[in-house]
Amino acid sequence: MSPIHLPDAPELSRFSILLVVISFFLVFVAWMWQGVDFAVATLVGCSLMVLNFLWTRSVVRKAFLEANPKLWLGLSYGLRFGATVMVLYIAIREIGLNPLGVALGVSVLMLTAVGYTVAVALFPEKSSTHRAD
């Protein structure tokens, strides 16, 4: 398989920005709802998912530029999964962060995906970069 050229993906940039905005919103709501300890747990979960998304985005982009992406993607997935599990274990078990706050933070990726999908469905003319004439 030969390397391919990947164009810039403005949708991923918009998704990344929305991911960060929703993360800040979730942390704020957690702080107002349950206080600082819950907000810190939510912040850890959100930060983990934002970093995980950015890492995945970077690895997939690099993998498609490689001649043999399967090995690269497999190794990256294993490393990322292991690192995520270790951070979650340390955050909840060793540091003692609130598991529900961490779970709320981890859900930011799913909430962002739903929000982005709804935004694209409601405002297709503003979200499309490829218009049919």
pLDDT at 68: 67
Answer whether residue 133 is part of any domain. no
Q: Is the pLDDT of residue 53 over 50?
A: yes
Q: If we measure between CA atoms, which residue out of 54, 91, 44 comes closest to residue 76? A: 54
> How many folded domains does the chain comprise?
1
Q: Are 133 and 32 in contact (CB under 8 A)?
A: no
Predicted confidence band at 124 (pLDDT cuts at 50, 70, 90)? confident
Answer whether residue 95 is part of any domain. yes
Answer whether residue 106 is part of any domain. yes
Predicted confidence band at 131 (pLDDT cuts at 50, 70, 90)? very low
Distance CA 123, CA 128 (A): 9
The range of the structural domain enclosing residue 49 comes to 37-112
Tokens matching residue 46: 């959100």
Answer whether residue 91 is part of any domain. yes
Answer whether residue 49 is part of any domain. yes
pLDDT at 133: 42
Who contacts 126 (Cβ-Cβ below 8 Å, separation ≥6)?
none
The mean per-residue pLDDT over the stretch 26-38 comes to: 94
Q: Is the pLDDT of residue 101 over 70?
A: yes
Supply the Cα-derived Rg of the chain in whole angstroms: 17
pLDDT tens string 10-23: 667 788 888 899 99
